[in-house]
């Protein structure tokens, strides 16, 4: 029986820092990451793919705001922009992965699912926005935008500039999880929970509505992976391993850490919010709920025996 892996594409799997975000750049990046997925397929894994949308949904918001301001087009809320991003990113990953499979004479159905994720309107995250989205700005540009809007900005931990931050509530229920489990176990490749899912809540009994937020895609992916009982959870990012004292002369790669060690490092502030901390929390969630391992690594190390940082029970 084939094993099931959930692979969470990081933003750099689609759009790298410093790139303009053209469709050609994003297709090239998603093609490269899709090539790396072949190692898992050849190692007898079925696949569920999730993905981030931070740069893309931010750009969609900018285009949306410009259309509203200059052409009088209806202003769309953030949940709708997340849905936009799910559709086009899912399409792009599906197309590039299909191209890769055909080039290697492999045949799988690939299904992209527009995924709503239930949150609660009372989540304290709405009082403390931390999730970075959109392009990088200089300090002066960020201050200028903040002065004429309700936007809040935070500095990127790797010094790439300032990005808008929005609320990131905890994911509670993922829609269509039974269907995702069924068709992925049958051997089809599923793309779901894009950008952490479209945030929705119950405004009244049996009445779902969207809400202005972006759910952390790693935590939503971990919830999905645990609910479909995946055999392994891969979190792809822009570094090959998790580091202690990151970006300092004392930087040290972690090959393996237990849940207890991961919690201690989080408490010590070793991992930055908006960067590695959410990934480590997502890894802890999956390991604690399944007893199985999480691998945090870069796409070029995916499927490599000693690639990445392994997070395990002990």
305 compared with 95, residue with greater pLDDT: 95
Q: Are 272 and 243 in contact (CB under 8 A)?
A: no
The residue written with tokens 């090539």 in the block is 35
pLDDT band at 62 (very low <50, low <70, confident <90, very high): confident
Which residues are annotated as catalytic? 11-12, 131, 217, 279
The reported pTM is 0.90
For the residues 98-117, what does the mean pLDDT come to? 96
The token pair that represents 109 in the structure block: 């159905």
Task: Return contacts of 302-306, CB within 8 angstroms, 24+ apart.
Answer: 302/7, 302/33, 302/36, 302/37, 302/39, 302/40, 302/234, 302/236, 303/36, 303/39, 303/40, 303/43, 304/39, 306/255
User: Is the CATH code 3.50.50.60 the one for domain 3-312?
Assistant: no
Give the model confidence (pLDDT) of 63-94 as tens digits.
Answer: 987 898 899 999 888 999 999 999 999 999 99
Averaged pLDDT score across all residues of the chain: 92
pLDDT value at position 16? 78
pLDDT value at position 231? 97
Statement: residue 41 has pLDDT above 80: yes
Statement: residue 50 has pLDDT above 80: yes
Statement: residue 233 has pLDDT above 90: yes
Query: Which residues make Cβ contacts (< 8 Å) with residue 143, sequence separation at least 6?
Result: 153
For the chain, the domains span: 3-312
């Amino acid at each position: 029986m084939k094993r099931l892996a959930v692979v969470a594409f990081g933003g750099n799997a689609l759009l790298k820092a410093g790139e303009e975000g053209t469709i050609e750049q994003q297709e090239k990046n998603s093609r490269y990451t899709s090539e790396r997925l072949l190692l898992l397929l050849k190692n007898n894994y079925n696949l569920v793919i999730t993905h981030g949308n931070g740069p893309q949904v931010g750009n969609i918001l900018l285009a949306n705001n410009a259309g509203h301001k200059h052409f009088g087009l209806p202003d769309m809320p953030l949940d709708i922009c997340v849905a936009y991003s799910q559709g086009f990113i899912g399409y792009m990953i599906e197309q590039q992965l299909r191209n890769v499979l055909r080039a290697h004479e492999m045949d799988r159905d690939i299904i992209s699912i527009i995924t709503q994720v239930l949150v609660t309107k009372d989540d304290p995250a709405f009082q403390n926005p931390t999730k970075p989205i959109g392009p990088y700005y200089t300090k002066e540009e960020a201050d200028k935008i903040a002065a004429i809007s309700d936007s809040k900005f935070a500095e990127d931990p790797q010094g790439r500039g300032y990005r808008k931050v929005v609320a990131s509530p905890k994911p509670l229920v993922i829609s269509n999880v039974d269907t995702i489990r069924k068709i992925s176990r049958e051997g089809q490749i599923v793309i779901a929970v894009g950008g952490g899912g479209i945030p929705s809540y119950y405004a009244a009994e049996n009445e779902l509505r969207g809400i202005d937020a972006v759910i952390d895609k790693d935590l939503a992916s971990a919830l999905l992976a645990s609910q479909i009982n995946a055999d392994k959870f891969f979190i792809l990012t822009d570094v090959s391993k998790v580091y202690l004292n990151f970006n300092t002369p004392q930087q040290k790669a972690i090959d393996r850490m237990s849940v207890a060690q991961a919690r201690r490092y989080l408490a010590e502030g070793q991992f930055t919010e908006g960067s590695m901390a959410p990934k480590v929390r997502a890894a802890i969630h999956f390991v604690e709920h399944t007893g199985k391992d999480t691998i945090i690594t870069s796409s070029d190390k995916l499927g490599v025996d000693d690639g990445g940082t392994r997070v395990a029970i002990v």
